[in-house]
């Protein structure tokens, strides 16, 4: 039995990583487990993600206290001091009560000892079992001993016990004896687990179950995940678009949407949310790779571009990349005449049956309807990330992961579980600056491997000629524990204050430098690791190889001698928050912080709290918000400033000063550690469709209000017309407002229920009922609501003829005009953000072209802004439903806790430093800094670096002509010295 105060996070995909980091960064210890032998979940298979086709996963890494984690690509794995990672591990059971759970886990041995494995692959060559490789979606074969992902660190192989025959060939082939064939799972009982977060993700639907798709027997019908591998340069065809059956270059590709989703027949009455955009992205990437011959088509029912930036992304795909969007339901996929090709039969929008041949069909598979969460997920003290309930895009997954960490953290703090004490880190060792630089080189000879392949006499002789005091030691193998211990013992006895580790993969050692520093007293920033092994592998002859190694050694020597760390000033954190906007998002954030004992100043421009709550139809949401308002009003730590606005703000994460003005006159300064902007939005105005020319033409919002009035009435035979996407999803307001479809559907259902004789028509472009709200769409269809699709070229028309309202449209199926006299027309006008120009300039942020406040990164840091310490949530950032806005409020609060939970802001290594004596105050650095981490100190007439916000990218240093700005560990003389040494 292991007593544990770690919060357990189950599932190490994007959500699990986010949750684990959220908690680790706020001082909790975390144990992150995954049943797979590698981290990353489905994202490890995707190189590019919508809606910008970029990666940027690394932006999830800690930005404050960066040194507690890694500073390299997250695909390599996750490394954080407070996070323990257990792979090939599953939960067997959870017992006990909230706050004190007993979790039984089962851990399968990986078969290969990472401390001894050198990654030589001999084991793999000897293994005679070959099966299809999951990571490559079956396009490649792998052995029973294999690398689960190509990029992970450490990159030793693991044994797949399900296929391994235990023949022992790998064990016998291993030169370092790292293989152990004992495959007995280890059962661990973890006690005193304060909370568990379930972030296992969902299972994807297996299209092999349905004949219609031909999946499984037609080799050129693949899933969207498999197509990602074809696109990837680490995929089966090195990123060239060949098709699996015959290696033919792909030109004509079809995507089939809603495979396994939105299908009541198989019990899938939900939308899998991300597949539409996923397909658009794949089609875009494929078109780009194929070039002008690309013919890509997406067969869909509704193109669910409901994210803020999705509609424009889709429009670009359609207009610029020529991707064809075909609204239809495909009824069969069969082999074509040339039976490698695929014949897709469908009914086009005019009702004509069409057979079309493609090189390949890609199935957009969603969540498997049979997928169910384990029973223990509903236990008290166990928190489930929404992305484990339904398929989600990255933004949704990241936000919902932070919501779960907020809930878990809150429950733990209630139970009084202590956070990790902030250790007064000794990052800077006082005497170093005065000491004469002295360097210890440790060369790992990789067992006996390096001995014969390098000219050691020459290396020894040459090192004598290199500048500075240098000692050199050879160790047989520092990657194994004996070698590591030997090195530490040696370093404890040296007077050296700099260390150069010449071994193999530096990424393996970088996360261990802090530990090494604590053991040896050498500062982590005065250590460097170089890859001796790869140099030796690349070069062919002894002399050339030796020269290359000497070059690399001298390069590092020059850099290490140029390092001159200076301790940066630290400052205390003000344990309070400023929240602007008291709508659902702002109120939620306020409560989240207040219950964790942080003071909150809530600034609201109107006289009442609750934002647009009167527009919210869901009784449940209304009640939630009503309760929130009461809770906020009564919370002793929350100060409400109503009819107030922000007029000025400056400062750094952890210590902002903001001036607010109340009732147009009283001014007040607030000191706060973080800022959360929840400025909200409002109903958009319109002049379309004869709005206001007749009181029977209303907006959807007005209709909702009228529906609640007791005197609301239309004739029992009334014809009621809803028009969706009014002025929306076309320029200039080219985004989906997310709320209108659901509102129209609900209103339509109500009307049909109250007036069963009425005719209710909804003119729509795409019904945006993502996730489980699809059920409302299903229900509306069942209730006899009629749906008429329209496109921008064929919008419905509303005319008023002598007081009568005539609505005209066209039925695409019959290809005939349709014509109603309407008794009521409801216009779904959507929402716009509240004007935020002033706030944006006060806080030095950016807006989108539609006026939403722009987040730092829409996928990976959705509630952060470009400035550390300032967060954003709710409709002010992006259209959202009330429950989504509240989730964002929680997520923003969770991000804010990273700062508020600290007593002092601690600078990380590799930050910028201004040498004021040289600085000419040209402010170039301030202008180019991507994190707003520099400011002018007018009092001292100095440009100052905010060491908490600075990420050490060095753009400032490159822009500074006279090196008044330097980046620690990347000093210019060191780099130029390295260049000199390299040549």
Structure tokens at 881: 């439903």
Q: Which of residues 896-925 bind another protein (CB under 8 A)?
A: 910, 917-924
Site for another protein (CB under 8 A): which residue of 42, 58, 189, 640?
58
Name beta bridge partners: 256: 299, 363
Q: Which of residues 379-398 bind another protein (CB under 8 A)?
A: none
Q: Which is nearer to another protein, 764 or 852 (CB)?
A: 852
Name beta bridge partners: 80: 69
Structure tokens at 285: 């990437």
Q: Which is nearer to another protein, 684 or 957 (CB)?
A: 957
Min CB(930)–another protein separation in Å: 4
Q: Which of residues 80-139 bind another protein (CB under 8 A)?
A: 119, 121
What's the Cα-to-Cα distance from 859 to each of 52, 426, 490, 646, 674, rounded to whole Å? 9, 35, 46, 28, 22
Min CB(938)–another protein separation in Å: 11
Contacts of 398 (CB under 8 A, 6+ apart): 14, 15, 18, 60, 859, 860, 861, 862, 891
Q: Which is nearer to another protein, 811 or 980 (CB)?
A: 980
Spatial separation of the C-alpha atoms in residues 74 and 21, rounded to whole Å: 12
Min CB(904)–another protein separation in Å: 24
Contact (Cβ atoms closer than 8 angstroms) between residue 193 and residue 145: no
Site for another protein (CB under 8 A): which residue of 232, 511, 653, 715?
232
Min CB(537)–another protein separation in Å: 7
Spatial separation of the C-alpha atoms in residues 829 and 685, rounded to whole Å: 7
Site for another protein (CB under 8 A): which residue of 277, 507, 875, 949?
507
Min CB(809)–another protein separation in Å: 38
Q: Which is nearer to another protein, 879 or 977 (CB)?
A: 977
Spatial separation of the C-alpha atoms in residues 473 and 442, rounded to whole Å: 5
Site for another protein (CB under 8 A): which residue of 421, 465, 607, 634?
465
Site for another protein (CB under 8 A): which residue of 186, 211, 348, 537?
537
Site for another protein (CB under 8 A): which residue of 98, 129, 266, 539?
539
Site for another protein (CB under 8 A): which residue of 71, 615, 750, 844?
71
Q: Which of residues 732-791 bind another protein (CB under 8 A)?
A: none
Structure tokens at 601: 């100043």
Residue 963 touches another protein, criterion: CB under 8 A: yes
Site for another protein (CB under 8 A): which residue of 579, 798, 805, 978?
978
Count residues contacting another protein (CB under 8 A)? 81
The stretch near another protein (CB under 8 A) out of 209-217, 233-241, 349-357, 885-893 is 233-241
Residue 467 touches another protein, criterion: CB under 8 A: yes
Contact (Cβ atoms closer than 8 angstroms) between residue 863 and residue 399: yes
Q: Which is nearer to another protein, 312 or 367 (CB)?
A: 312
The stretch near another protein (CB under 8 A) out of 259-267, 542-550, 672-680, 699-707 is 542-550
Min CB(82)–another protein separation in Å: 22
Site for another protein (CB under 8 A): which residue of 95, 172, 177, 544?
544
* Count of other CB atoms within 10 angstroms of residue 657: 14
Site for another protein (CB under 8 A): which residue of 233, 493, 709, 802?
233
The stretch near another protein (CB under 8 A) out of 10-18, 134-142, 528-536, 717-725 is 528-536
Min CB(53)–another protein separation in Å: 7
Q: Which of residues 234-293 bind another protein (CB under 8 A)?
A: 234, 238-239
* b/e per residue 906-941 (b: at least 16 CB within 10 A): bbbbbbbbbeeeebeeeebbbeebebbbbbeeeeee
Site for another protein (CB under 8 A): which residue of 155, 200, 413, 865?
155
Q: Which of residues 593-622 bind another protein (CB under 8 A)?
A: none
Q: Which of residues 920-939 bind another protein (CB under 8 A)?
A: 920-924, 927-928, 930-931
Residue 972 touches another protein, criterion: CB under 8 A: yes
Residue 72 touches another protein, criterion: CB under 8 A: yes
Q: Is 162 helix (H, G, I), strand (E, B) or coil?
A: coil
The stretch near another protein (CB under 8 A) out of 572-580, 622-630, 727-735, 952-960 is 952-960
Nearest to 72 by CA among 86, 62, 58: 58
Min CB(321)–another protein separation in Å: 13
Residue 55 touches another protein, criterion: CB under 8 A: yes
Q: Which of residues 352-381 bind another protein (CB under 8 A)?
A: none
Residue 959 touches another protein, criterion: CB under 8 A: yes
Contacts of 144 (CB under 8 A, 6+ apart): 127, 129, 131, 159, 160, 163, 164, 165
Contact (Cβ atoms closer than 8 angstroms) between residue 561 and residue 467: yes
Contacts of 940 (CB under 8 A, 6+ apart): none
Min CB(527)–another protein separation in Å: 14
Q: Which is nearer to another protein, 779 or 973 (CB)?
A: 973
Q: Which is nearer to another protein, 33 or 286 (CB)?
A: 286
Contact (Cβ atoms closer than 8 angstroms) between residue 833 and residue 851: yes
The stretch near another protein (CB under 8 A) out of 7-15, 480-488, 544-552, 710-718 is 544-552
What's the Cα-to-Cα distance from 954 to each of 187, 517, 635, 789, 877, rounded to whole Å? 48, 25, 44, 52, 29
The stretch near another protein (CB under 8 A) out of 5-13, 547-555, 609-617, 691-699 is 547-555
| HSE value, Cβ hemisphere, 13 Å, CA-based, for 205 | 29
Nearest to 248 by CA among 226, 229, 230: 230
Min CB(767)–another protein separation in Å: 31
Min CB(548)–another protein separation in Å: 6
755 CB-contact burial (10 Å; exposed 0-12 / middle 13-18 / buried 19+): middle
Residue 69 Cα to chain centre, angstroms? 17
**790-793, long-range: CB < 8 A, 24+ apart:** 790/763, 790/764, 790/765, 791/765, 792/730, 792/765
Min CB(225)–another protein separation in Å: 15
Site for another protein (CB under 8 A): which residue of 22, 47, 133, 855?
47
Q: Which is nearer to another protein, 863 or 897 (CB)?
A: 863
Spatial separation of the C-alpha atoms in residues 439 and 436, rounded to whole Å: 10
Spatial separation of the C-alpha atoms in residues 676 and 872, rounded to whole Å: 6
**Helices 275-290, 310-319: inter-axial angle, 10-degree rounding:** 30
Spatial separation of the C-alpha atoms in residues 434 and 62, rounded to whole Å: 32
Q: Is 871 helix (H, G, I), strand (E, B) or coil?
A: strand
Min CB(690)–another protein separation in Å: 39
* b/e per residue 414-447 (b: at least 16 CB within 10 A): eeebeeeeeeeeebebeebeeeebebbbbbbbbe
Residue 849 touches another protein, criterion: CB under 8 A: no
**Helices 774-782, 740-754: inter-axial angle, 10-degree rounding:** 30
């Amino acid at each position: 039995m292991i007593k544990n105060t770690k919060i357990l996070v189950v599932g190490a995909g994007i959500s699990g990583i986010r949750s684990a980091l959220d908690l680790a960064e706020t001082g909790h210890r975390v144990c992150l487990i995954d049943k797979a032998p590698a981290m990353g979940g489905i994202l490890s298979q995707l190189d590019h993600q919508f809606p910008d086709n970029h990666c940027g996963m690394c932006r999830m890494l800690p930005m404050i206290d960066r040194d507690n984690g890694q500073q390299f690509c997250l695909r390599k794995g996750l490394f954080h001091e407070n996070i323990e990672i257990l792979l090939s591990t599953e939960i067997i059971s959870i017992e006990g009560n909230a706050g004190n759970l007993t979790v039984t886990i089962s851990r399968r041995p990986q078969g290969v000892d990472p401390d001894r494995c050198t990654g030589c692959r001999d084991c793999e060559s000897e293994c005679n079992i070959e099966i299809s490789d999951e990571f490559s979606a079956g396009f490649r074969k792998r052995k029973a001993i294999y690398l689960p992902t190509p990029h992970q660190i450490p990159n030793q192989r693991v044994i797949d016990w399900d296929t391994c025959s235990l023949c022992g060939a790998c064990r016998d082939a291993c030169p370092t004896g790292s293989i152990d064939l004992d495959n007995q799972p280890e059962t661990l009982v973890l006690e005193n687990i304060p909370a568990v977060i379930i972030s296992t993700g969902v299972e994807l639907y297996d299209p092999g179950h349905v004949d219609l798709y031909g999946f499984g027997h037609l080799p050129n019908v693949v899933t969207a995940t498999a197509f990602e591998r074809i696109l990837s340069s680490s995929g089966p065809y090195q990123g060239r678009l060949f098709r699996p059956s015959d290696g033919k270059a792909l030109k004509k590709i079809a995507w089939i949407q809603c495979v396994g989703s939105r299908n009541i027949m198989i019990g899938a009455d939900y939308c899998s949310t991300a597949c539409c955009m996923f397909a658009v992205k794949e089609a875009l990437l494929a078109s780009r790779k194929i070039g002008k011959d690309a013919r890509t088509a997406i067969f869909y029912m509704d193109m669910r571009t409901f994210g803020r930036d999705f509609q424009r992304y889709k429009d670009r795909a359609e207009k610029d990349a020529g991707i064809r969007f075909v609204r239809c339901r495909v009824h069969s996929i069969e082999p074509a005449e040339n039976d490698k090709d695929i014949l897709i039969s469908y009914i086009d929008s005019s009702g004509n049956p069409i057979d079309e041949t493609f090189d390949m069909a890609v199935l957009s598979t969603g969540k498997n309807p049979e997928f169910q969460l384990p029973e223990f997920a509903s236990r008290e003290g166990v928190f489930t990330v929404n992305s484990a309930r339904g398929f989600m895009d990255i933004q949704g997954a990241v936000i919902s992961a932070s919501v779960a960490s907020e809930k878990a953290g809150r429950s733990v703090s209630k139970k009084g579980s202590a956070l990790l004490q902030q250790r007064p880190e000794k990052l800077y060792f006082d005497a170093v600056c005065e000491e004469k630089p002295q360097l210890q080189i440790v060369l790992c000879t990789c067992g006996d491997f390096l001995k014969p392949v390098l000219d050691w006499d020459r290396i020894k002789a040459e090192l004598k000629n290199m500048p500075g005091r240098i000692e050199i030691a050879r160790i047989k193998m520092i990657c194994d524990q004996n070698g590591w211990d030997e090195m530490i013992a040696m370093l404890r006895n040296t007077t050296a204050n700099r260390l150069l580790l010449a071994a193999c993969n530096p990424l393996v050692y970088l996360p261990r430098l802090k530990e090494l520093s604590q053991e040896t007293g050498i500062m982590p920033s005065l250590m460097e690791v170089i890859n001796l092994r790869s140099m030796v592998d690349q070069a062919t002859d002894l002399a050339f190889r030796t020269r290359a190694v000497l070059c690399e050694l001298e390069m590092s020597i020059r850099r290490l001698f140029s390092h001159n760390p200076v301790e940066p000033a630290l400052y205390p954190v003000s344990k309070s928050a400023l929240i602007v906007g008291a709508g659902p998002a702002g109120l939620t954030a306020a409560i989240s912080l207040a219950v964790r004992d942080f003071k909150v100043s809530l600034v609201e421009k109107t006289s009442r709290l609750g934002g647009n709550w009167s527009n919210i139809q869901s009784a449940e949401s209304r009640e939630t918000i009503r309760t929130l308002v009461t809770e906020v009003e009564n919370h002793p730590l929350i100060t409400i400033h109503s009819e107030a606005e922000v007029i000025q703000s400056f400062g750094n994460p952890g210590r902002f000063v903001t001036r607010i003005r109340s009732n147009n006159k009283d001014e007040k300064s607030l000191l706060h550690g973080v800022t959360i902007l929840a400025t909200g939005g409002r109903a958009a105005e319109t002049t379309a469709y004869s709005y206001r020319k007749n009181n029977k033409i209303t907006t959807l919002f007005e209709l909702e209000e009228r529906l609640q009035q007791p005197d609301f009435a239309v004739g029992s035979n009334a014809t009621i017309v809803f028009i969706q996407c009014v002025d929306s999803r076309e320029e200039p307001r080219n985004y989906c407002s997310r709320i209108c479809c659901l509102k129209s559907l609900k209103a339509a259902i109500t009307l049909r229920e109250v007036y069963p004789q009425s005719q209710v028509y909804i003119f729509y472009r795409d019904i945006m009922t993502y996730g489980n709200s699809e059920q409302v769409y299903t229900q509306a269809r069942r209730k006899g609501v009629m749906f008429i699709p329209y496109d921008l070229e064929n919008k419905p028309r509303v005319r008023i003829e002598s007081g009568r309202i005539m609505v005209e449209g066209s039925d695409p199926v019959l290809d005939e005009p349709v014509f109603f006299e309407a008794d009521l027309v409801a216009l779904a006008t959507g929402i716009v953000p509240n004007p935020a120009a002033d706030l944006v300039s006060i806080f030095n942020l950016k807006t989108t072209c539609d006026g939403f406040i722009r987040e730092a990164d829409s996928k990976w840091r959705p509630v952060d802004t470009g400035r550390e310490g300032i967060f954003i949530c709710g409709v002010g950032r992006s259209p959202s439903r009330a429950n989504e806005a509240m989730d964002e409020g929680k997520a923003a609060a969770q991000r804010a806790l990273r700062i508020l939970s600290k007593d002092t802001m601690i600078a990380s290594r590799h930050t910028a430093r201004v040498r004021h004596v040289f600085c000419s105050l040209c402010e170039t650095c301030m202008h180019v800094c991507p994190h707003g981490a520099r400011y002018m100190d007018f009092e001292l007439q100095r440009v100052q670096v905010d060491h908490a916000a600075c990420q050490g990218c060095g753009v400032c240093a490159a822009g500074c002509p006279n090196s008044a700005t330097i980046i620690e560990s990347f000093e210019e003389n060191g780099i130029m010295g390295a260049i000199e040494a390299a040549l």
